């Protein structure tokens, strides 16, 4: 969920194995792994920017200002939940 909407829905295996939404990818990249310690000179990845004000959401995709894959349509149209098969749903124009 992001800004009150489901952005990706999948089985646990699919979600962890093949995340599709840039927000989900960002979350997965920020998880520390106990078997792969972060070197002292590195920090965990974070998602840049701030969560938008829920009372002043932008037109289009709510994640657009934090997304590293944003394009024009993202700023104009709110994405719909797209079915990518096997119950894997994603709200992102990258996967249309």
For residue 36, pLDDT over 90 is answered with no
Strand 89-90 versus strand 82-83 pairing type: antiparallel
Domain-wise residue ranges, the chain: 8-95
Cα distance between residue 68 and residue 66, in whole Å: 7
Place of tokens 């996967």: 95
What global pTM score does this model have? 0.89
Condensed to tens digits (0 to 9), the pLDDT of residues 24-34 reads: 999 998 887 77
Nearest one of 10, 8, 11, 12 to 92, comparing CA atoms = 8
For residue 39, pLDDT over 80 is answered with no
Alpha-carbon torsion angle 65, 69, 72, 75, nearest 10: -30
Tell me what pLDDT residue 84 has: 97
Higher pLDDT, residue 33 or 56 = 56
**9-22: average pLDDT:** 97
Contacts of 75 (CB under 8 A, 6+ apart): 58, 59, 60, 61, 64
């Amino acid at each position: 969920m992001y800004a009150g909407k489901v952005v990706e829905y999948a089985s646990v295996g699919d979600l962890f194995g093949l995340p599709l939404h840039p927000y989900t990818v960002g979350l997965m990249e920020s998880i520390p792994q106990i078997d792969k310690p972060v070197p002292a000179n590195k920090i965990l990845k974070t998602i840049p920017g701030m969560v938008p004000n829920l009372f002043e959401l932008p037109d289009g995709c709510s994640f657009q200002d934090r997304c590293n894959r944003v394009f024009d349509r993202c700023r104009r149209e709110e994405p719909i939940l797209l079915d990518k098969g096997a119950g894997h749903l994603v709200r992102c124009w990258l996967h249309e």
